[in-house]
Structure 1
Amino acid sequence: MDVKYDLASYVRVLKMASTPSWNEFSQIAKVAGAGIFLIGLMGFVIFAVMTVLPGGI
């Protein structure tokens, strides 16, 4: 493991990184929120189906 090479590559990545603009941040937040909502909705639908099916059979 070459520590000097690893540190140099970490520093290079940190120099390239920048703070996102407000528009970029809000777009990422909307997409992440939509993904969380869809996963939760799918879980709720599966729960509702599994709850209703055993009672109907």
Structure 2
Amino acid sequence: MFIEKIKNFLSQCKRVFLVSTKPGKDEYKLSVKITGLGILIIGIVGFIIFLITTAIGGL
């Protein structure tokens, strides 16, 4: 049973590797922009939380 699960998992991994392709230049740029935007948003939210806690009295 455990061996069958491993074989099934490896079969699925092989199928994914065969179908996947290297990202093109445009796709890579889009991925970098989205990742950068996410990091920026998380930073802004963290800074706002910092300002609020500082204004309240430094919980």
TM-score band by shorter chain is 0.7 to 0.9
Q: Pick 1 or 2: higher relative contact order, CA cutoff 8 A, min separation 6.
A: 2
Structure 2 counterparts to residues 8-47 of structure 1, below 5 A: 8-47=11-50
Gapped regions of structure 2 (runs ≥ 5): none
Runs of at least 4 residues of structure 1 off by over 6 A? none
Aligned length: 55
Unaligned runs of 5+ in 1: none
TM-score (norm 1): 0.82
Work out the percentage of aligned pairs sharing the same amino acid. Answer: 33
